[in-house]
Amino acid sequence: PRVLVVGGGIAGLGAAQRLCHRAFPHLRVLEATGRAGGRIRSERKFGGVVEMGAHWIHGPSQGNPVFQLAVEYGLLGEKEMSEENQLVELGGHLDLPCVSYASSGRNVSLELVADMANLFYTLLDQAREFQHVVETPVPSVGEYIKREISRHMADWTENNETKKLKLAILNTHFNVECCVSGTHSMDLVALGPFGEYTMLPGLDCTFPGGYEGLTSNIVASLPKDILVFNKPVKTIHWNGSFREETLPGEMFPVMVECEDGDRFPAHHVILTVPLGFLKEHLDTFFQPPLPLEKAEAIRKMGFGTNNKIFLEFEEPFWEPDCKYMQVVWEGSSPLEDAAPEPKDTWVRKLIGFLVLPSFGSVYVLCGFIAGLESEFMETLSDEEVLQSLTQVLRRMTGNPQLPAPRSVLRSRWHSAPYTRGSYSYIAVGSTGDNIDLLAQPLPADSADAQLQILFAGEATHRMFYSTTHGALLSGRREADRLTSLWHTKAQPPQPEP
């Protein structure tokens, strides 16, 4: 059969690798951009390598196919592969920062920081316990945690100033979770299905030589010329009968039309475009349109923005063993709605900075910022972002002479036309069933011309959505679905004796 994979991220590449392995000779991967990897994107910069997209292997242990491939390709260090690392279970809790700066320039007591981390993660863990509850007390994770915080506050005995600081620290934790979930607000993340996301054991680790080593190794394992770059797909025509001039007499149920006018008839299409792209082009991308239920699932599912801002310094202003600096925005509170004007307040969504391992004599911080403020940041110039962050750092550290970063580099996933955000989450008004519904192939009921469009990608994995391993598994899942169809066709079931 002729099989087309749309999208050359890890889901598409994973599907292609499986199918090549099983000898599907008429296979092509159509990729909109000039490179493979999608949201796995490492850039050589600052004399080292930085990740614009995926950063960690979440849960690097034997049950994680990304970990397995990374080991197979020799991309990890001794420590990352050690038994000890594989056994660690942090339950998605971040390590404590080495320093916590209040926005006006004083250090926040690390004891207070630890107390608030403890409280927040206790409540976050509780929020995962509503999977089998018929009716949740409130619709969202955000509302649930806020309600619990209000209850705890009744027992706080400190002075008003300390109470306010505690709320500001908790507010930073909400912003951290916005980054983790790729959402503007935890009020948008559905409480009931929150616990369906599954964490694998293992101490999250990075790729010393860049995450993209993973996808480039998969590409290298594929036959030459399978990947077609700069080939954005405009419309998928399905449920039809299309011909190709070079193959008279042959009929194809699907025809993929590209933006440049090229047309590719096919028996099967494995679609791996990001949910953000699907949401934006839902009305024109499928011909005939998707069944109502499926279109509705796509509209309801959550897909937001998380970005990184890298800052390069000549000299570190942090302690040598520091890995993470927290920023606490004084006056902020999760119990009050944030100011609606993002223009000058966008930096207040920044959670702090990760210290990257130094590249020789270059020192790099990686800031994280999610939500609408992050999308607004994308519209600014590098110069404006650098200036705002220099101001923040000077105020935070209480050092008005702090040298400005030498340069800035940031991701802009919301503006990326073939991504339109970072990753998916289960939004209020949606459930895990919507993920399964999205993952169902089309047409839903057809004796012949089955599996015309198969759906893969991060957003189609019910347990591991938003991750690279979820994406990889989803691609393999759809490849396997196709293989079993052709396996049954090749060996028609024998009549029972």
Ligand X SMILES: Cc1cc2nc3c(=O)[nH]c(=O)nc-3n(C[C@H](O)[C@H](O)[C@H](O)COP(=O)(O)OP(=O)(O)OC[C@H]3O[C@@H](n4cnc5c(N)ncnc54)[C@H](O)[C@@H]3O)c2cc1C
Stretch that binds ligand X, among 53-61, 287-295, 381-389, 477-485 (CB under 6 A): 53-61
Per partner kind, with CB cut-offs from 5 to 8 A, the member of ligand X, ligand NAG, none near residue 217 is none
Stretch that binds ligand X, among 82-90, 105-113, 185-193, 465-473 (CB under 6 A): 465-473
Query: Residues 68, 107, 387, 407: which binds ligand NAG (CB under 6 A)?
Result: 107
Residue numbers 38-77 binding ligand NAG by CB under 6 A: none
213 is a site residue for ligand X (CB under 6 A): no
Given a contact cutoff of 8 angstroms between Cβ atoms, the answer to whether 3 and 19 are in contact is yes
458 is a site residue for ligand X (CB under 6 A): yes
- What pairs with residue 65 in β-bridges? none
Residues 6+ apart with CB under 8 A from 178: 184, 185, 186, 304, 306, 349, 370, 371
99 is a site residue for ligand NAG (CB under 6 A): yes
Q: Are strands 407-410 and 363-370 parallel, antiparallel or unpaired?
A: unpaired
418 is a site residue for ligand X (CB under 6 A): yes
Q: What's at 278, amino acid-wise? A: L
DSSP 211-262: THHHHHHHHHHSPTT-EE-S--EEEEE-SS-EEETTEEEEEESEEEEETTS-
Window 233-272: contact mask with ligand X (x via CB under 6 A): x--------------------------------------x
Closer by beta carbon to ligand NAG, 141 or else 328: 328
Closer by beta carbon to ligand NAG, 22 or else 243: 243
Closer by beta carbon to ligand NAG, 107 or else 198: 107
443 prior amide bond cis, ω within 30: yes
For the bound state, the minimum distance from the C-beta of residue 239 to ligand X, rounded and expressed in Å, comes to 19
For the bound state, the minimum distance from the C-beta of residue 412 to ligand NAG, rounded and expressed in Å, comes to 31
DSSP 169-191: HHHHHHHHHHHHHT-S-GGGBBS
Given a contact cutoff of 8 angstroms between Cβ atoms, the answer to whether 136 and 431 are in contact is no
Per partner kind, with CB cut-offs from 5 to 8 A, the member of ligand NAG, ligand X, none near residue 376 is none
Instruction: Report d(CA 224, CA 214) in Å as an integer.
Output: 18
Closest CA to 274 of 66, 50, 41: 41
Per partner kind, with CB cut-offs from 5 to 8 A, the member of ligand X, ligand NAG, none near residue 333 is none
Instruction: Report d(CA 175, CA 185) in Å as an integer.
Output: 8
9 is a site residue for ligand X (CB under 6 A): yes
Closer by beta carbon to ligand NAG, 102 or else 347: 102
Residue numbers 137-166 binding ligand NAG by CB under 6 A: 160
Window 349-388: contact mask with ligand NAG (x via CB under 6 A): ----------------------------------------
- Planar angle of CA 445, 264, 293, nearest 5 degrees: 30
205 phi/psi in degrees, rounded to 5: -135, 165
Residues that bind ligand NAG (CB under 6 A): 99, 107, 160, 239, 288, 319
